[in-house]
Amino acid sequence: MHAGVVDERAFGLHAGAAGALDAAQWAQEPPMRIGHGFDIHRIAPHGDTKVGGPFTIGGVVFADFELGIVAHSDGDVIYHSVVDSIFGALTLPDIGQFFPDTDPRWKGAASDVFMQEAYRQMDQRGYRVGNIDVTLIAQAPRMILRDHPLATAERPFDHKRAMIDNLAALLQCPTNRINVKARTHEEVDAVGEKRAISCHVVTVFERKS
């Protein structure tokens, strides 16, 4: 079995799962599929023993950020949410069943691995990205910086652009199919108090011609 791949029979995802409906009714994949993904992780100072590697969001490393992500893997909330949205659109089990946090193989793993498996599942079912809409919810770190070395007077530096590039590369689609938005949580609850970071994703697939 491919690393991280779930045996669909173990979750009732087999030909008889539709009950009395004629199998021919379900033989054709729909032209479009939609999935939603969500992830949240606690964040803590780097001295916390549960913090793993560098603070990573959407494949972008915030090396100078004073907090780290508490997670079994690298805790990339954007990648995890995208993966879950893809699995959801394909009516597959969630990311935690594909890559359980009890499996030492995924300890500290880069979430690129999870993205690659999600792409493989999508591709083998005959789909490609229609569009992906990401909403990152984080009080910090800031996504748009006017004081960044690469910022100009006319154009501040935007970390979200690199996140879009990373997602498009991993999912083998044009960047105009990916959108990444970011907002704070208005200093409310764990996210607003910089004790957590979260993300929502909506994914639309289209059948490959």
Digit-by-digit pLDDT tens for the chain (209 residues) are: 345 555 554 454 544 454 567 777 667 789 999 999 999 999 999 878 788 778 999 999 998 899 989 888 888 999 999 999 999 999 999 888 888 878 777 776 788 999 999 999 999 999 999 999 999 999 999 999 888 888 888 898 899 999 999 999 999 999 999 999 999 999 999 999 999 999 999 999 999 98
CA distance 124 to 8: 15
Which pLDDT value is given to residue 35?
Answer: 98
Residue 13: the pLDDT is 52
Amino acid occupying residue 127? Y
The pLDDT score that the predictor gives to residue 105 is 78
The pLDDT of residue 37 is: 97
- Intra-chain end-to-end CA distance of the chain, in Å: 29
Find out whether 111 and 17 touch, Cβ atoms under 8 Å.
Answer: no
Question: CA 195 → CA 46, 81, 114, 190, distances in Å?
Answer: 13, 19, 25, 5
Please report the pLDDT score of residue 110 as a whole number: 83
Q: Residue 100 has what pLDDT?
A: 80
Q: What is the pLDDT of residue 1?
A: 35
112-124 vs 159-171: helix crossing angle, rounded to 10: 40
Rounded to the nearest 10°, the torsion over CA 112, 129, 89, 132 is 80
Question: Full-prediction pTM beyond 0.95?
Answer: no
Other beta carbons within 10 angstroms of residue 46's beta carbon come to 12
Q: Angle 8-10-13 (CA atoms, 0-180°, nearest 5)? A: 45
